Amino acid sequence: MRVFLAAFLSFDTLCSMLNQLLIAFGFSAIIVALAYWRGSLSGSGAAGALLVGTLTFGLGGWQWGVVLGVFFVSSSLLSHYKEAEKRTAAEKFDKGHRRDMGQVFANGGLGTIIAVLSAVVPTTAVATQTWFYLFVGVMGTVTADTWATELGTLSKSPPRLITNGKPVDVGTSGGVSPLGTLVSFLGGLLIGLTAGLLTDYNLLLTALAGALGGLVGSLFDSLLGATVQQIYYCDSCEKDTERKVHKCGTTTRPLRGWSWLNNDVVNLLASVVGGVTATLILLSTSVAFAVLIL
């Protein structure tokens, strides 16, 4: 690994990278400890979040760390918001609000990989701005999804299936509501605005990358949820669910969808779509700019 890194980076760069990783570890440890104490993370979730925080902040830069922090803190706060009202809807979701390592990696894993790549791939091959927009789109999507899950379930009107518009129960995979969609957009917008305000990149463009990346990514998430995501059925409650074991304790049986495509994989694929959307927004404006000059 050292030889591999040394091929790209000088000794000084490695030292400052190590320094930044240590600082990142310190900040991440404080936030993760608070989240664990508040009951937002399980033990394995805390370990995963420490790794995600250290690498994202340490290798991407402090702006990346703040963007990750905005996702994490806003999502944790929202998961405690109106808890009692959400409990029935929450039964349909795969896990409780104490996030484990699988959920942490499903939300933060891809962003972490992008941060690592941005540090080791030469900037002559891929510009730092491209990696950052990819990251903004990914974080926009996970924020949009989490916000929509936490707040969309409070919608007064029943959600409708994204594929055929049929009304479905609150919390059903693939169900969308005007409130949930608006919340998705706002979640991505917050990430885009944060990213734009912290960097020298165009504020409007960066905000748009976060908002549209998040919206497109979370709509793709709903589309998978309505079609090919693995959905289970609880025979005792006569309800469909994303959980292998229902909240009532009954082992559920597969109802529809592909067996490998569980909720975590769906989140990951949606993040890829959100990240690509954000990057395309950046590329399309570069192309438009080039055309204007010519």
Q: Which residues bind Zn ion (CB under 5 A)?
A: 234, 236-237, 246, 248, 250
Q: Answer yes or no: are the C-beta atoms of 52 and 35 closer than 8 Å.
A: no
Read off the DSSP letter of residue 253. E
DSSP state for residue 153 in the 8-state scheme: T
Q: How far is the CB of 146 from Zn ion (least distance, A)?
A: 24
> Could you tell me if 216 and 272 are in contact, meaning their C-beta atoms sit under 8 angstroms apart?
no
What is the rounded CA–CA span in Å between residue 175 and residue 148?
11
Q: How far is the CB of 239 from Zn ion (least distance, A)?
A: 6
Q: What is the DSSP string of 88-107?
A: HHHTTSSS-SSB-HHHHHHH
Q: Output 15 or 248, the one with its CB closest to Zn ion.
A: 248
- Residue closer to Zn ion by CB (options 99, 246) is 246
The least CB distance from residue 240 to Zn ion, in Å, is 10
Give the residue with the Cβ less far from Zn ion, 206 or 243.
243
CA proximity to 278, closest of 139, 138, 144, 137: 137
The set of residues, in sequence order, having a beta carbon less than 8 Å from that of 282 and lying 6+ positions away, is 129, 130, 133, 205, 209
Task: Provide, rounded to whole angstroms, the least separation between the CB of residue 128 and Zn ion.
Answer: 49
When the beta carbons of 215 and 234 are compared against Zn ion, the nearer one is: 234
Instruction: Kindly state the smallest distance separating residue 237's Cβ from Zn ion, in Å.
Output: 3
